[in-house]
Structure 1
Amino acid sequence: MKSGSDLLRIENLGISFSMLGGRLHVVKGANLRVLPGKVTALVGESGSGKSVISQSVMGILPNTAKATGKILFTDPLDGRTTDILQLPTDGEQIRALRGSRMAKIFQEPMTSLSPLHTVGNQISEVLAIHTESSKEERRARTEEMLDNVGFSNPSRTYDMYPFELSGGMRQRAMIAMALICRPALLIADEPTTALDVTIQAQILELLRELQHKLNMAMLLITHDLGVVANMADEVVVIYHGEIMEAGPVEAIFRNPQHAYLKGLMAAVPHFDMKPGERLKALREVPVKTDTLWAKKKEVANAPEILLSVRDLTKSYKTRKSGLFGRKHTTEVRAVDGVSFDIRRGECLGLVGESGSGKTTVSKILMRAVTPDSGSVTFDDGSGKINVLTAQGDDLMDLRTHIQMVFQDPVSSLSPRMTVQNILSEPLEIHGRGDRAYRLEKVRGLMQAIGLDQRFLNRYPHSFSGGQRQRIGIARALALGPQLLICDEPVSALDVSVQAQILNLLKDLQKQLGLTYLFISHNLAVVDYMADRIAVMWGGRIVELAPREVILRNPVHPYTRGLLAAVPFPDLDRPLDFTTLQASGASEQGEWAPQFRPDEAGDPLIPADLGDGHFVLARKNVDVRELRPW
């Protein structure tokens, strides 16, 4: 195929970085293409070379990098083909292409947008650089683009700062900035990784619509095969800097050839998994808990309920200064009458979008946030403990029973402490044994999470994301807890590493008799881990049921909307964007009347549908009206 028929053609691309003792080759002989008006997905794990390839296309490789080969860009406007690698990295030619004919959406919009400038100012700056338009024309075009990407009030958004927008809205602003000059090629680097499933579906639909509207080609960089199945025309699979497999999306998904691609597909949790079926991680983590603790002994007459939560509420007040110095106080209820039980030895999944109150509930359980009202009782058979009022020795004892695994292993591990110090710190705080005993326990913890004991003197920065998360799990296990609260423990990880961590958590639960509260917005992950699932919206639990019931026969419209927004790595089950819009997952006004408070203020209460299935509905509604079957 001639390079002129491709919008972008990469030939024999090699990228290396200068290191002490030589050069590190991160991309080796890569070949791929992007056709005009089509989507090419570049798929692989973290560290496989995806983002470095995108940087080389945009001409923004760091100074320590050296690229060889060809990157041929054929501009549809004039038909000229340019080899980007031959252009000076800061010359006029590459600057004229970058931002105007080629644009990029970055993974994390909060760090990509300037906090000091308004959204409109940042988007219109691109027009100021690449066009001769006046200030008024730039504002008009910027507001038009903000309208195109889904802002209901573009003129107001123009004058807002990034911190005033939600994650999904910030990502829309990034897309507006990338598309303001109507580029021929858009590079989207993990554009939906940090977003909720419903926001992700909206962004994917937006990208697809704009791509067709502007006849734009896209290089989509992702590790989410569900996104690939719903967006891509062609797929390129990369592993350790080498292209393993490439071809049309139909051929790749229906008849994968390479063992690595087959392994990636087997590592994705999906709703059709059989009970007891394990995810097939590319690299299994050996779990050896023999040196840790024996399996928890059953306490005689131990209660079935380990943790009981009743009527938790938590409100936050925001103050805004108005005209003449007047202050307006607004109260936001983050948690609104939340009640649930966690049974001994089970995994309770807690799902919902960002801002639904999941993390606030977890912080209340850990005593990091004080609720306005409600009660939390922990009972392991040796006497009930009031979690919210425990003091002194009771509180120290409670800390050993309940521990937390955090979402981001980078910020939750101290960069100044070695792994040995991190894992032995809980033992030191609680006065467990002497130095030799603690070292023995730390070695046992390393063995339990499948890390080599030689790594004990390393610092967190020298580990991969998955290894850091395993260290976080080991620290949580150090005191032999009974309940682990896992707050989005795999949301920042690749699908293959995610499979490792989920299998590790399952093995530890089985061998140590642990109980989990597993918080996530990924329903497929919760389906794999949980025995029962609670769905949160607006600070309330709107539906609670056993896993197989809630995912097969959801009753609440919000739960149905969440499930409809999950992208499947299956060409025969595409996202139905029309139904998704009609379901209005987060819009209470779109729900059926029995799920909304009426004008008389009739309260919403948990209605019992039987078999442990509860749904939040009007007080006087007949249960038969709620069942979809």
Structure 2
Amino acid sequence: MTSGADLLRIESLNISFAMLGGQIDAVRNVSLRVSPGKVTALVGESGSGKSVISQAVMGILPQTASASGRILFCDPALSETPSDLLQMPRDGREIRAIRGNRMGKIFQEPMTSLSPLHTIGNQISEVLRIHTTASKTECRERSEEMLGLVGFAKPSRAFDMYPFELSGGMRQRAMIAMALICRPALLIADEPTTALDVTIQAQILQLLRDLQTKMGMAMLLITHDLGVVANVADEVVVIYHGEIMEAGPVETIFRNPSHPYLKGLMAAVPHFDMKPGERLKALREIPVNAGNLLGKKADVATGPDVILSVRNIGKTFTTRKSGWFGKGDTSATLAVDDVSFDIRRGECLGLVGESGCGKTTLSKILMRAVKPDTGSITLHGADGDLDVLAAEGARLKALRTRVQMVFQDPVSSLSPRMTVQNILAEPLEIHDRGNAQARQEKVRTLIDAIGLDQRFLNRYPHSFSGGQRQRIGIARALALGPDLLICDEPVSALDVSVQAQILNLLKDLQKELGLTYLFISHNLAVVDYMADRIAVMCGGRIVEIAPRETLMRAPVHPYTKSLLAAVPFPDLDRPLDFAALNPSGASDKRSWGRQFSGDDGNTLFPADLGNGHFVLASRNADARELVS
């Protein structure tokens, strides 16, 4: 095929970075193409060179990078002959005429890519002012039209809003509007849905597909999510450590994968068809050695069947709009509303829901980091019950040893100024566990248990990968031998291959140490793999709670059904049903029905459907009616 038949053609691309210790070859001999009106997915783990390739295409490589090869861009609107983007001066007039105009880019993190000091409309219309001669009025009209296209219900209002006033999904839509305002021939989407809820992700994927079809543009989609690839891509390129492992049409790649790396990636993705006891196949397994970490499992799993009782927890946050001398309008947001549940000893309770539903606030209340307005929390143990909210002094210190947390972001949750040795020893020092020698021995046992070498103890967090940092966070949480581990989105920031490592590690530790987990996530496939029971949260309330098999196979609440319908499968035979998705979001009560939304005037109440299955519905609703 000649290069003229492709909109973008990369030939023998090499990119290296000059470092103090020598040269790093980030991309080696890469060749790929993007055809007009088609989607090419570039798939691989973090650090494989995906984003560097996109930077080379856009002409925004760092000064320390050097590149060779050819990046041919054949856009009939510019020229009949292909232009070699790599030969253009980085800040020259030629590349600036293409970048942002004929070629747009959506970045991974919309909050850091949008200016916090300028309105959404100002940032979108700036692109038009740079690349067109449109007047100020025309810029506003076209910007509002594009905001409407990407799903803003009131474009004129959104035009004057600042990024911090929008949710993550809406910020990503604003970023898409900015990338598409000049109607480019090529859109580069760099992990456009990684940080989003499963329902918002499905909406963004549908939006990108619709806009791509409507505008006839090509797309280079950079992702590590094979479910996204199966639902959007026409061609797939698999990259590992800067080299192409496999490439071809999406049908061939998914039905007949040939390279071991691609097969390994597919086996590492959790899915709903997994058999009981089936393990994820991580690309690089972690040897778990937890045998002598907390003593024998039998010694740990003692005490009452229920380890934590949560009753009628409520929390309202009050915000004040700006006013002189503290005077201004106040507004109240109900974050957690009358939440009750039990966590049984030795089980993993999954807590799922969209961003903003109250999951993290609830976890902070359980950890005594946030004080609730109403309700009670009781921690049960062999030596009696402990009132979590009333504990002070020695009892509060004892509580801290029994409940620990694994945080979402492994980067910001570890101190950059402390070595791994100090990070793992700190909890032991705070709680006066043993002498210096005993603590040293305990730290070595912890690092062994998570599958890291003892040589790493004197290194700092920045020298580890995301997955390794998360394992250090897990080791720190285990240092005091807790009964209950609260895992707040512990794998959402990780690649699927590293995610499989961490999930298997948590499962192994639970089995060997008899740990109890509260596992918070918005990824239902991950929760399905980890949890014994699942609670679904929406608008601060638990709308459904049931054993895992029941909830996944026979959900009753419309919100739960919407969450499950929005999960993209890495399977061509099970595409996302975009037509069935609720355009106003899963949490829009107008589409729930009278018995679930409370529109019939009755109080919502947990209805018992049997076998531990409860759903929030009208008090007078018939259980058989709900199931049907």
Class of the TM-score when normalised by the shorter of the 2 chains: over 0.9
Aligned counterpart, 1:74? 74
Shift of 1:321: 4.6
With over 3 angstroms needed to count, the CA separation of the structure-2 counterparts of 1:324 and 1:494, relative to structure 1, is: closer
SS for the counterpart of 1:327 is coil
Deviation string, structure 1 residues 299-349 (Cα, Å, up to 9, x no partner): 898311000000000001122258999732211100000000000000000
Deviation string, structure 1 residues 481-521 (Cα, Å, up to 9, x no partner): 01000000000000000000000000000000100000000
In 1, Cα distance between equivalents of 2:583 and 2:91: 48
With over 3 angstroms needed to count, the CA separation of the structure-2 counterparts of 1:136 and 1:322, relative to structure 1, is: farther
Aligned counterpart, 1:246? 247
Aligned counterpart, 2:232? 231
* Counterpart mapping for 1:486-525 below 5 A: 486-525=487-526
* Counterpart mapping for 1:444-459 below 5 A: 444-459=445-460
Moved segments of 4+, more than 4 Å:
298-301, 321-326
* Counterpart mapping for 1:167-246 below 5 A: 167-246=168-247
Aligned counterpart, 1:593? 594
In 2, Cα distance between equivalents of 1:540 and 1:397: 30
Larger displacement relative to structure 2 (317-326 or 409-418): 317-326
Shift of 1:550: 0.3
State the AA in 2 paired with 1:75. Answer: D
Aligned counterpart, 2:381? 380
Aligned 8 A contact 2:10 2:31 in 1: yes
Question: Does 2:39 align with 1:39?
Answer: yes
SS for the counterpart of 2:438 is helix
Q: Which runs of 5+ in 2 are unaligned?
A: none
SS for the counterpart of 1:286 is coil
Aligned counterpart, 2:149? 148
Shift of 1:412: 0.4
Aligned counterpart, 2:2? 2
Aligned 8 A contact 1:147 1:154 in 2: yes
In 1, Cα distance between equivalents of 2:288 and 2:380: 29
Aligned counterpart, 1:92? 93
In 2, Cα distance between equivalents of 1:166 and 1:440: 46
Aligned counterpart, 1:24? 24
In 2, Cα distance between equivalents of 1:231 and 1:156: 31
Aligned counterpart, 2:334? 333
* Counterpart mapping for 1:381-530 below 5 A: 381-530=382-531
In 2, Cα distance between equivalents of 1:460 and 1:23: 23
State the AA in 1 paired with 2:153. Answer: S
With over 3 angstroms needed to count, the CA separation of the structure-2 counterparts of 1:428 and 1:301, relative to structure 1, is: closer
Aligned 8 A contact 2:310 2:339 in 1: yes
Shift of 1:289: 1.3
Shift of 1:35: 0.2
In 2, Cα distance between equivalents of 1:59 and 1:29: 18
With over 3 angstroms needed to count, the CA separation of the structure-2 counterparts of 1:299 and 1:417, relative to structure 1, is: closer
In 2, Cα distance between equivalents of 1:323 and 1:62: 45
* Counterpart mapping for 1:541-560 below 5 A: 541-560=542-561
Deviation string, structure 1 residues 155-192 (Cα, Å, up to 9, x no partner): 11111100000000000000000000000000000000
In 2, Cα distance between equivalents of 1:128 and 1:428: 59
* Counterpart mapping for 1:294-373 below 5 A: 294-298=295-299, 302-321=303-322, 327-373=328-374
In 1, Cα distance between equivalents of 2:104 and 2:507: 42
* Counterpart mapping for 1:54-65 below 5 A: 54-65=54-65
SS for the counterpart of 1:410 is coil
Aligned counterpart, 2:627? 627
Deviation string, structure 1 residues 552-602 (Cα, Å, up to 9, x no partner): 0000000000000000000000000111137952110111111011353x2
SS for the counterpart of 1:377 is strand
State the AA in 1 paired with 2:74. Answer: T
* Counterpart mapping for 1:537-576 below 5 A: 537-576=538-577
SS for the counterpart of 2:582 is helix
Aligned counterpart, 2:130? 129
Aligned 8 A contact 1:299 1:381 in 2: no
With over 3 angstroms needed to count, the CA separation of the structure-2 counterparts of 1:250 and 1:322, relative to structure 1, is: same
In 1, Cα distance between equivalents of 2:5 and 2:28: 24
In 2, Cα distance between equivalents of 1:393 and 1:599: 50
Aligned 8 A contact 1:483 1:514 in 2: yes
State the AA in 1 paired with 2:4. Answer: G
State the AA in 2 paired with 1:604. Answer: L
With over 3 angstroms needed to count, the CA separation of the structure-2 counterparts of 1:326 and 1:478, relative to structure 1, is: closer
Question: Does 2:282 align with 1:281?
Answer: yes
Aligned 8 A contact 2:200 2:585 in 1: no
In 1, Cα distance between equivalents of 2:529 and 2:246: 29
Deviation string, structure 1 residues 104-159 (Cα, Å, up to 9, x no partner): 10000000000000000000000010001111111111011001101011111111
TM-score between both structures, scaled by the size of structure 1? 0.98
Aligned counterpart, 1:258? 259
State the AA in 2 paired with 1:19. Answer: M
SS for the counterpart of 2:518 is strand
Aligned 8 A contact 1:584 1:591 in 2: no
In 2, Cα distance between equivalents of 1:354 and 1:508: 28
State the AA in 2 paired with 1:48. Answer: S
In 2, Cα distance between equivalents of 1:101 and 1:182: 7
Deviation string, structure 1 residues 180-229 (Cα, Å, up to 9, x no partner): 00000000000000000000000000000000011000000000000000
What RMSD, in angstroms, separates the aligned Cα atoms of the two structures? 1.4
In 2, Cα distance between equivalents of 1:459 and 1:587: 45
In 1, Cα distance between equivalents of 2:400 and 2:585: 41
SS for the counterpart of 1:125 is helix
Aligned 8 A contact 1:12 1:70 in 2: yes
The alignment of Structure 1 onto Structure 2 pairs a total of residues equal to 627
With over 3 angstroms needed to count, the CA separation of the structure-2 counterparts of 1:298 and 1:37, relative to structure 1, is: same
Aligned counterpart, 2:50? 50
In 2, Cα distance between equivalents of 1:407 and 1:290: 26
Larger displacement relative to structure 2 (590-599 or 410-419): 590-599
Aligned counterpart, 2:104? 103
Shift of 1:80: 3.0
Shift of 1:290: 2.7
State the AA in 2 paired with 1:357. Answer: G
Q: Give the share of equivalent positions with the same residue, in percent.
A: 76
Aligned 8 A contact 1:557 1:583 in 2: no
TM-score between both structures, scaled by the size of structure 2? 0.98
Aligned 8 A contact 1:566 1:575 in 2: yes
Shift of 1:381: 1.7
